[in-house]
Amino acid sequence: MQALWLENQKIAVRDVPQPLKPGEALIRIRKAGICSTDLELAKGYYPFTGILGHEFVGDVMDAPDKTWIGQRVVGEINAACGMCEACQNGRPTHCENRTVLGISSRDGVFAEYTTLPLANLHRVPDSVADEQAVFTEPLAAALEIQQQIQVKPTDRVLLIGAGRLGQLIAQTLSLTGCGLRVLARHPSQQTLLADRSIRLIAEEEIQPRRWDIVVEATGSPAGFDLARKAIRARGTLVMKSTYKGGMNVNFSSVVVDELMIVGSRCGPFEPALRLLEKREVDPTVLIAEHFKLGEAVHALEKAAQPGTLKVLLEP
């Protein structure tokens, strides 16, 4: 089969064997989405050799439980062992022995086929189109914020960053009725938010030490510094990005201000699919371009261009 292979920070479309893992479902990829993690892996953010990609929708071609064959599915990216302390205590996304689809010790979905355990799969409702379903994983990651903290209608919430994930965070937070403001750099990002009546804010308008909840979604030290200045004492700072390398943080001020800092990544798939089914969010507005799998190198180049949101791959 064809696949986009990463090795030594070089990517190329090549022919590789079709995957076969005993006890796992074989899935034919319908569509796959390129995210910032894929772009960072290609630049060497984390040592990985293999097939990139973790956002997908596909069809089950074979499975240990034959009732899954023919089902259209999306899949959670962390494959857990089920036996370690984290798994036994209900934290499978932090499994000590986990493999991560297209990120760590497991080939991903920028290919014609992939495999995953049945426990990772979720059936896609018939009314949810492929162009919507492919966003299930990042939409679930956006919803994880509301799994971790309570967002009240009275909360003043600042979202810093309106890229691929930031747009989905904005759409999901707006459903809570909170006092949401979003700092978006690019005009195209601003237009998408304004079209959904999500209120924007300029950096110079951000009042320091006034925000109950600040979500940092830029992954940049400058974004973190702005978030730190904006959050009020005893407020909640949600870190929705990873940072390359170290950062200088004045933790004395964090203690004095009694801040709650929450790291946030993977989230719940079933609520994400319900939002898609009910049309309460619309991720398709983020789609910039479609590419064939054979054009995957060019697709990543397109996705890396400033202001580009979601680029999709398909066989």
Residue 198: give its domain's CATH number: 3.40.50.720
Let me know whether 91 and 155 are in one domain.
no
What does the pLDDT look like over 145-177, one tens digit per residue?
999 999 999 999 999 999 999 999 999 999 999
248 part of a folded domain: yes
Let me know whether 83 and 181 are in one domain.
no
134 part of a folded domain: no
Structural domain range at position 117: 2-123+282-314
The pTM is what? 0.96
Of 278, 217, 207, 291, which Cα lies nearest the Cα of 34? 291
Strand boundaries in 46-148, DSSP class E: 50-51, 55-62, 72-75, 78-79, 99-100, 113-117, 121-123
Of 102, 167, 109, which Cα lies nearest the Cα of 139? 167
pLDDT in the model for residue 45: 81
128 part of a folded domain: no
Of 30, 36, 57, which Cα lies nearest the Cα of 293? 30
Of 55, 53, 194, which Cα lies nearest the Cα of 131? 55
Let me know whether 250 and 297 are in one domain.
no
pLDDT in the model for residue 34: 98
Question: CA 211 to CA 166: how far, in whole Å?
Answer: 18
69 part of a folded domain: yes
131 part of a folded domain: no
Question: CA 25 to CA 34: how far, in whole Å?
Answer: 22
Let me know whether 80 and 180 are in one domain.
no
Residue 247 buriedness (CB in 10 A; 0-12 / 13-18 / 19+):
exposed
pLDDT in the model for residue 74: 98
R_g of the chain, CA atoms, integer Å: 20
Percent of the chain at pLDDT exceeding 90: 94
269 part of a folded domain: no
241 part of a folded domain: yes
Let me know whether 210 and 116 are in one domain.
no
Question: CA 74 to CA 29: how far, in whole Å?
Answer: 10
Let me know whether 254 and 290 are in one domain.
no
277 part of a folded domain: no
Residue ranges of the chain whose pLDDT lies below 50: none
Q: Which amino acid is at 139?
A: L
Q: Is-contact 81 97, C-beta < 8 A?
A: yes
Other Cβ atoms closer than 10 A to 282:
15
Let me know whether 51 and 155 are in one domain.
no
- Count: domains in the chain: 2
Find the CATH number of the domain harbouring 8: 3.90.180.10
Let me know whether 186 and 230 are in one domain.
yes
